[in-house]
Amino acid sequence: MAYQGGYPQQYGAGGGGGGYAQHPAAAYGGGYGGYAPPPQQPPVSPEIQNIFRNIDKDNTGRINNRELQQALINGRGDHFSDTACNLMINMFDRNKSGTVDIYDFERLYNYINQWLQVFKNFDRDASGHIEENELTQALTQMGFRFSPAFIQFLITKNDPINRKEISVDQFIVTCIQIQRFTDTFRVRDTEQKGVITITFEDFLGIALSMCS
Amino acid sequence: MAYQGGYPQQYGAGGGGGGYAQHPAAAYGGGYGGYAPPPQQPPVSPEIQNIFRNIDKDNTGRINNRELQQALINGRGDHFSDTACNLMINMFDRNKSGTVDIYDFERLYNYINQWLQVFKNFDRDASGHIEENELTQALTQMGFRFSPAFIQFLITKNDPINRKEISVDQFIVTCIQIQRFTDTFRVRDTEQKGVITITFEDFLGIALSMCS
């Protein structure tokens, strides 16, 4: 009831307290939507150039989902999921080709690293996974106030075989999706009551827009 | 207002008029959710065995997303999307491994063929794609009553480069997602007004459940 129905007022705005300014939400806000390339591309660092060349196995000058997946390994030794790579590529892919060039990649690379840093901060036992209490802390620090049942749902959704933990790529996807859905909800929750009234067509439109 | 807020009363129940009984929604209703294998598997036809062997390139006895993608081509000559193959495999994958065995595959195969038949029926000019007026007719016959703006949104979502048409795999994904979201909406729309009131956490839960 109080506290904007469980979601943070300023989330994604890049300001505010609680470790906020450094959160990838800031990069997210910039990279997704009205992202415009600078008139003149700044030079890409030699480090990024090297990484890009190593990932761009077919030397097309663009990195696709599969190449990114091959390059990213989570704490279980598995490649990042299709969903995670698709989601992130689509955020930085300026020409909507499903691939990123070296300039897109530089931003994508920085974005992933920011998320990895967030993940490490919350993975307090350095297990390489986020457990229930760590996820609760992470979301609370991001400004959300979810019920224990909802946190449990997030874990179970990501971990059907009951390991009770989520991997770094699942954590990134979960956080990005929560951010997006929160933004979508908030614009309709004009009185900030945490409750909205929605028509069938609007509901379908939101749901279909959010799913790839 | 009338007509259950734009969505069909019996959709997915497998009964009713308007070409309903033969619609894949019936198979969908059976395959998704409470799908239980028969105590003794019935024999798989030689035709399906042959098709299965051809698709199962690595001879693991299970077909994964990539193998299914390789086997399915849409009217543009492109492989079915990741999303389409994931969605369909997940509907028939009894052990939640992200792959289907030959028994799962037989049902999946029949299900895809039912959808292909539906698609052909609505692709009246046999272009291999569904255009706006054909999509309107298809959804109307399925019992939905969407605004022209919503149909336009469905086309644009699937066709960002403005070909104003959707492919067969996009059609299947769109219909399955609309079915799922409609079911989700309907259980909350107890008075069948086409409008629901929903809390932030419920909204998030629905949205996250529906997105892979």
Q: Do B210 and A205 lie within an 8 Å CB cutoff?
A: no
pLDDT for A117 beyond 70: yes
Q: Where are the domains of chain B?
A: 46-211
3-class DSSP string for A9-69 = CCCCCCCCCCCCCCCHHHHHHHHCCCCCCCCCCCCCCHHHHHHHHHHCCCCCCCEEHHHHH
Q: Which of B24, B62, B71, B34 is nearest to B173 (CA)?
A: B24
Segment A192-196 shows an average pLDDT of 94
More confident residue, B9 or B3: B9
Minimum CA–CA partner of A146 in chain B: B201
- Mean pLDDT (whole number) for B191-197: 94
Residue A20 has pLDDT above 60, yes or no: no
State the Cα angle at B170 between B169 and B172, rounded to 5°. Answer: 65
Verify whether the Cβ–Cβ distance A212 to B83 is below 8 Å: yes
Residue A161: its chain B contacts at CB < 8 A?
96
CA distance A199 to chain B (A): 4
Report the chain B residue with the minimal C-alpha distance to residue A147.
B201
Q: Which residues of B touch A5 (CB under 8 A)?
A: 199-200
Question: What is the C-alpha separation between A195 and B194, in angstroms, rounded?
Answer: 17
All residues of chain B having their beta carbon less than 8 Å from the beta carbon of residue A184 are 207
- pLDDT per position as a tens digit, B72-109: 999 888 899 888 998 999 999 998 888 999 999 999 99
Residue A207 is nearest to which of B160, B196, B207, comparing CB atoms? B207
Residue A74, sorted as left (phi over 0), alpha (psi -120 to 50) or beta, turns out to be beta
pLDDT, averaged across chain A: 82
Residues on chain A touching B204 (C-beta within 8 angstroms): 150, 178, 181-182, 185
Q: Which amino acid is at B64?
A: N
ipTM over 0.95: no
- pLDDT band of B14, cuts 50, 70, 90: very low
What is the C-alpha separation between B189 and B5, in angstroms, rounded? Answer: 9
Mean pLDDT (whole number) for B57-86: 92
pLDDT level of residue B25 (50, 70, 90 thresholds): very low
Q: Which CATH number fits domain A46-211: 1.10.240.10, 3.20.20.60, 1.10.238.10, 3.60.21.10?
A: 1.10.238.10
Q: Look at residue B16 and tell me whether its pLDDT is greater than 70.
A: no
B chain contacts of residue A6, beta-carbon cutoff 8 Å? 200-201
Q: What is the pLDDT of residues B113-165, one digit of tens each?
A: 999 999 999 998 888 999 999 999 999 999 999 999 999 999 988 876 777 89
Residues of B in contact with A201 (CB under 8 A): 6, 146-147, 150
Helix A132-141 × helix A148-158 angle, to 10°? 120
**Better pLDDT: B38 or A114:** A114
Reported as a pLDDT band with limits 50, 70 and 90, residue A5 is low
Is pTM, for the whole model, over 0.80? no
Q: Is the model's pLDDT at A13 over the cut of 60?
A: no
pLDDT of residue A6: 64
Structure tokens at A84: 């995670």
Contacting B with CB below 8 Å, chain A residues are: 5-7, 65, 82-83, 86, 96, 146-147, 150, 153-154, 157, 160-161, 174, 177-178, 181-182, 184-185, 189, 194-201, 203-212
In the structure, what pLDDT confidence band is assigned to residue B69 with cuts at 50, 70 and 90?
A: very high
Task: Please answer whether residues B147 and A201 qualify as being in contact, where contact means their C-beta atoms are separated by less than 8 angstroms.
Answer: yes
Q: Which of A127, A205, A140 is nearest to A178 (CA)?
A: A140
Which pLDDT score, from 0 to 100, does residue B145 have?
92
pLDDT tens-digit readout, A120-140: 999 988 889 999 999 999 999
Give the model confidence (pLDDT) of A23-70 as tens digits: 444 333 333 333 444 556 778 999 999 999 999 999 999 999 999 999
Q: How far is A113 from chain B (nearest CA, A)?
A: 23
User: What is the Cα–Cα distance from B119 to A131, expressed in whole angstroms?
Assistant: 45
